[in-house]
C-alpha cells in the first residue's frame, strides 16, 4: 500500500499547495473527511473551513478554503475552492471584526436577503478563525 498521496489545493486565482502528504483532513458538507493513500474515489462539496495537510515528515500545514469541491483518487486528492489561503496568512483581527459585524447585522436584519448575506459573512469569518485556531493548536 502506498504511504503518500499527492495533494493539490487550488483557488480561483492560483495554486496554494501542491505536494505529497501522508494525510489530508478537510471539512466536507457532510462532515470532516480524513484522506489517506488508497482512499476510495470520491467527489464531494467542501464546507468553508480549515484543511489540514500532514506531510510525510510529520509537519502539519493548515489552510483555509471558502468552500468548493474535493476530488479523491487513490493516489491524488484535489481541492478546488473559490478562495484558499494559508492559515498563517489570515488576519485574525480582521476576521474577528467581520464576525462581530455579521453578528450585529444578524440581530438587525431588515429582510430575508440581508439576513442570508449576514449569515454567510458570519460563517466565512468563523471558518477563517477556526483555521487559525487549528494552526495555533498544531504549532
Question: pTM for this one?
Answer: 0.81
Same domain membership, residue 78 and residue 113: no
pLDDT digits (tens, 9 = 90+) for 3-35: 899 999 999 889 999 999 999 999 898 889 999
12, 54: one domain? yes
Q: List all residues 6 or more positions away from 33 whose beta carbon is below 8 Å from its beta carbon.
A: 25, 26, 27, 42, 44, 70
Helix (H, G, I), strand (E, B) or coil at 51: strand
What's the pLDDT score for residue 139?
60
Residues 65 and 117 occupy one common structural domain: no
All three cell numbers of 71, joined, read 476530488
Given a cut of 60, whether residue 1 has pLDDT beyond it is no
Are residues 57 and 106 part of one domain? no
Query: If we measure between CA atoms, which residue out of 68, 66, 64, 67 comes closest to residue 90?
Result: 64
Closest CA to 44 of 24, 58, 19, 21: 24
- Contact status, residue 44 vs residue 32, Cβ threshold 8 Å: no
Question: Does residue 14 share a domain with residue 68?
Answer: yes
The predicted-structure confidence for 38-76, as pLDDT tens digits, reads as follows 999 999 999 999 999 999 898 999 999 998 999 999 899
Mean pLDDT over each residue of the chain, to the nearest integer: 89
Amino acid at each position: 500500500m502506498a504511504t503518500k498521496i499527492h495533494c493539490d489545493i487550488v483557488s480561483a486565482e492560483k495554486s496554494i499547495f501542491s505536494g505529497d502528504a501522508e494525510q489530508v483532513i478537510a471539512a466536507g458538507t457532510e462532515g470532516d473527511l480524513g484522506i489517506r493513500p488508497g482512499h476510495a474515489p470520491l467527489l464531494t462539496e467542501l464546507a468553508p473551513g480549515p484543511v489540514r495537510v500532514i506531510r510525510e515528515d510529520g509537519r502539519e500545514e493548515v489552510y483555509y478554503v471558502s468552500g468548493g469541491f474535493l476530488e479523491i483518487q487513490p493516489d491524488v486528492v484535489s481541492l478546488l475552492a473559490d478562495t484558499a489561503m494559508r492559515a498563517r496568512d489570515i488576519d485574525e483581527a480582521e476576521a474577528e471584526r467581520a464576525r462581530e459585524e455579521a453578528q450585529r447585522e444578524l440581530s438587525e436584519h431588515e429582510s430575508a436577503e440581508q439576513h442570508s448575506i449576514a449569515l454567510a459573512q458570519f460563517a466565512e469569518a468563523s471558518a477563517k478563525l477556526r483555521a487559525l485556531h487549528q494552526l495555533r493548536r498544531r504549532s
